Amino acid sequence: MNGKRKLYVDQYGNHVWASSLKEVRRQFRGRVHKMYKDDGDSSVMVGYVIGDHWFTVFNVTPLEIPA
């Protein structure tokens, strides 16, 4: 695996765990576009549009609580 695993969730509720966008594209075919959200004075990238799926990407880190 190249990077940390991320959670990709589309508008239909499909969940995909992948470490790269290339892995997601294997399952969902179509052109890839970046998806943005307006955040006050600027825009921030929140995910990708792949075909007719709008994926929001979450960086998920494991929960670690000291014993």
- Tell me the per-residue pLDDT of 3-46, one tens digit each, with 9 for 90 and over: 688 999 999 999 999 999 999 999 998 999 999 999 888 999 99
Looking at residue 1, its pLDDT comes to 42
C-alpha count within 13 angstroms, C-beta hemisphere, residue 46: 12
State pLDDT tens for residues 46-65.
999 999 999 999 987 776 76
Amino acid at 34: K
- Residue 49 makes CB contacts below 8 A (sequence gap 6+) with 32, 33, 34, 35, 55
Looking at residue 10, its pLDDT comes to 94
Q: What is the pTM of this model?
A: 0.80
Of 63, 46, 54, give the one whose Cα is nearest residue 30: 54
